[in-house]
Chain A
Amino acid sequence: MELDNIEKLIEKYLEATTTVAEEKALKVYFAQDEVASHLEQYAPMFRYFSGAKEEQFTQQVALDQIANAAPRRKKANYKWLSVAAVGLLMFGLYFGNIETKLEEEYTQEEIAQAQQALSLLSMNFNKGSQQLAHLKEFEKNTNKFLIK
């Protein structure tokens, strides 16, 4: 291609008004060994661009292992999580209800009897603990000696 033409193309190139075809022509021109000396400065640019296109993605596209396994497992996780949550909820509701069922299971009398028995127990227990209050006196007196 004529030098004149190339110079014009470069001018247009820098203003970003060249077409893809014109840019290709520039790349072809700069790919050859003999380049006019005043245009030498542009050579690395175009050579680099041509070279950069050669670079390839060399890794295997690992769709088999990851794409199939990962998303499905993720979805399954969420599903089982909700199942577990529902199970837990049912469990809670069931045992939450048991307390109220107690009153249905026993008659009023039985409950009253049980309460009486328990109050008797607590009365006696309190008596016992009152006796224990005497022990405190012991402690006071022994402390007097010990602190001195």
Chain B
Amino acid sequence: MQQSEFLNVVMPFKDKLFRLAKRLLVSTEEAEDATQEILLKLWTKNTSFDRYKSVEAFAMTMTKNFCLDRLKSKQAGNLKLVHSNYQEKGSLLQKQIEAKDSVNWVERIMAELPEQQKMVLQLRDVEEYDYDEIAEMLDMQPTAVRVALSRARKTVREKLVQKHSYGIG
């Protein structure tokens, strides 16, 4: 496979890989590195593309595994620090941009979710994949995907309401 062909295959979903990586790793730089790494891995595997039902789903699974490995490794400690710094900064935001801020809250609330719910929510509500696709990507049962999704959505709503009333009071 030529590079241009490969890029044509990969281009449509590289942003999705990046966003999933960022959802899991939080830091943009980490996510960029992870995406590069995954694209490279894909490139080295490009001869076996035909074997996979969907290259996109395969790439998403790779991203998931790669990021979870990253989080498990030592570097995860650094990432958490980055995140807590970011939260600090968030609390100092001015009142006038509160409307925009509450949108940002969603991001922070999502960061607090368990990894699996994070991924399900990202894949469904941001990337708008089907349940079956998500089940395949995450190697879960479709019913388990629904349960996780429902839980994630309810948690986000509850925390959002909490933060909102707290912010006003």
Contact = CB atoms under 8 A, between A and B. Distances in A.
Q: Which of B17, B32, B103, B124 has the most CB of A within 10 A?
A: B103
Contacts of A52: 19, 107, 122, 126
B10 to A, nearest CB: 7
B36 A48 contact: no
Nearest to B163: A44
Interface string B14-37: 110111001000000000100110
Interface in B28-52: 32, 35-36, 39-40, 43-44
Contact of A56 (B7, B15, B130, B160): B15
Contacts of B7: 61, 63
B15 A55 contact: yes
Nearest to A19: B130
Interface string B106-139: 1100000000000000101111101000000000
Nearest to A51: B103
B82 interface: no
Contacts, number: 85
Interface in A18-57: 20, 23-24, 41-42, 44-45, 47-49, 51-53, 55-57
A75 to B, nearest CB: 11
A61 B40 CA distance: 9
B59 interface: no
Contacts of A47: 103
A70 B41 CA distance: 12
Contacts of A71: 44
Interface stretch (A9-17, A98-106, A116-124, A136-144): A9-17
B67 interface: no
Interface in A47-82: 47-49, 51-53, 55-57, 59, 61-64, 66-67, 70-71
B83 interface: no
Interface of B: 3, 6-7, 10, 14-15, 17-19, 22, 32, 35-36, 39-40, 43-44, 102-107, 122, 124-128, 130, 146-147, 149-150, 153-154, 156-157, 160-161, 164
Given A15-B150, A55-B15, A57-B35, 20 more contacts: A13-B153, A16-B146, A16-B147, A44-B103, A44-B105, A44-B106, A44-B160, A45-B157, A47-B103, A52-B107, A53-B19, A53-B127, A56-B15, A57-B15, A57-B17, A57-B32, A59-B35, A63-B7, A63-B39, A63-B40
17 contacts: A14-B153, A16-B150, A23-B125, A24-B128, A41-B161, A44-B105, A44-B160, A45-B153, A45-B157, A48-B106, A49-B106, A52-B19, A52-B126, A55-B15, A57-B17, A59-B35, A61-B10
